[in-house]
Structures are given as C-alpha cells and as structure tokens.
Structure 1
Amino acid sequence: MSLRANRVGEQMKKELGEIISRKIKDPRIGFVTVTDVRVSGDLQIAKVYISVLGDAEKRENTLKGLAKAKGFIRSEIGQRIRLRKTPEILFEFDESVDYGNRIETLIHEINQENKQED
C-alpha cells in the first residue's frame, strides 16, 4: 500500500468515526468503532473495518444501516477530504477484535483454574 493510500486511510478513519457517531440517525446502527481503513493503491476502494457492541443480530442490523447510509457517508467524506474521486466504501467486521476478546477470556479462565488449584 502506498504512503498516500495510508494517509487517506488514516484521514478517512478519523472522519468516519465522527460521521457515524454524530451524523447518522439510523436506529439500526449500534455503537460502532472504526478500527481500520485500508485504501487501495489507486484510491478507488476503501475497506472500512468496524467493531460493533452487541450480539450477532445487532451487528447485522448495524451493517444494513451503514449500507443504507453509504451514499451519505461517501458524500460527507468527499466534502471533508480533498480528493478528485471519493473511494467506494466497503464495510466489514473487524474479526481481530472478537479474536482478541476470545483469547483474553481463555487466559482469564486459565488463570482462574490455576488459582483454584493453588
């Protein structure tokens, strides 16, 4: 990934967090954290990685709400970041957050078992 794509991704991450939390009023969208934005080298596509607080249904509803608001989000990004063409936005769940939480839970369980044995 080019340095420019990295910079655009970082800028988008900052702006997306603000747009999603402040501008979008869709009740389906839960508490969303933008964890990463990866922009293709040609700046055409931006993969936005999100984590959502809640169960699988809440996550799916949030994804539907974001998909519905994609046009609005893209135009907001276009106004805030000076680019000739605003990248196409694709939302994906950041599985690494769930993975990290799972590992943390397992470590906690192992520590509890070790304390009971002592």
Structure 2
Amino acid sequence: MGYRANRLGEEIKRIVTDLLRTEIKDPRISPFTTVTEVDVSKDLRYAKIYVSVLGEREEQQRTLEGLQNASGFIRSELGKQIRLRYNPEITFCLDSSIQHGLKINQILHDLAKEQE
C-alpha cells in the first residue's frame, strides 16, 4: 500500500471506530467490537475493514451481519467526513488474530504452571 492509501486507511479506521461507539445502535453489533486494521486498494476505491469481536462464534457472525447491514450508512458518513473523488466501497472481515494471541498466551500460561 502506498503512503496515501495508508493515511486514508488510518482515517477510515478512526471514523468507523467513532461511528461504532456513538452512531450505530444495531443490537446485533457487539459492544466488544474493535476495528483492528483497514486495507485500502491502490486506486482508493475499495476498503477492507478488519474487525475483532470478543465472544462466541455466533456472536461474531451476528456482529458481522450487522456491520454489513450498516455499511451503506458508514460509507455515506465516510463521504461526509473525507473529501475524495470516489467514496471507497467497504467490506467487513473478521480478524481473529487477537483471539489467536489469547489462545497462545493461555497455552504458554498453562505450560508455565506445569513446569512449576
């Protein structure tokens, strides 16, 4: 990703995080939803937003459905707050890296207990 795409990704991340916290009131979206990363294409027309949701698998799927449902609103808010020729088309993806890290941490913690 180029410099401009990185900058735009960080700005989208900030705006979407703020929208999740204050504007979007969908009950399907978990309050433990975190925007972890935003990948923007080189032509700035597509943005893939990675979110992490703490909870069970079905809660993660419900949150993803709620976010996909709210993507039109989020895209329009991005258009109001960022001046671009083309408003990026957004898609949401689950980012399981935080949960994977928690599992690894738990395994290491269990191994340390066994060695004591």
With the shorter chain as reference, the TM-score category is: over 0.9
Partner of 2:15: 15
Q: Which runs of 4+ in 1 moved over 6 A?
A: none
Partner of 2:103: 102
In the TM superposition, what are the counterparts of 1:1-118 in structure 2 within 5 Å?
1-30=1-30, 31-115=32-116
Q: Which runs of 5+ in 1 are unaligned?
A: none
Q: CA–CA distance in 1 between the matches of 2:102 and 2:92?
A: 21
Q: CA–CA distance in 1 between the matches of 2:82 and 2:109?
A: 43
Question: How big is the alpha-carbon RMSD for the aligned residues of Structure 1 and Structure 2?
Answer: 0.8
Task: Pick the structure with greater CA Rg.
Answer: 1
Q: Structure 2 counterpart of 1:89, which letter?
A: I
CA contact (8 A) 2:16 2:35 kept: yes
Deviations 1:24-79 (A, max 9, x none): 11000002100000101110110101001211111010001011111000001111
State the TM-score, normalizing by the size of structure 1.
Answer: 0.94
CA contact (8 A) 1:21 1:32 kept: no
Q: CA–CA distance in 2 between the matches of 1:114 and 1:82?
A: 57
Shift of 1:95: 2.0
Q: Structure 2 counterpart of 1:108, which letter?
A: H
Q: CA–CA distance in 1 between the matches of 2:105 and 2:66?
A: 30
Count of residue pairs the alignment pairs up: 115
SS in 2 for 1:6: helix
Q: Which runs of 5+ in 2 are unaligned?
A: none
Identity of aligned residues (%): 50
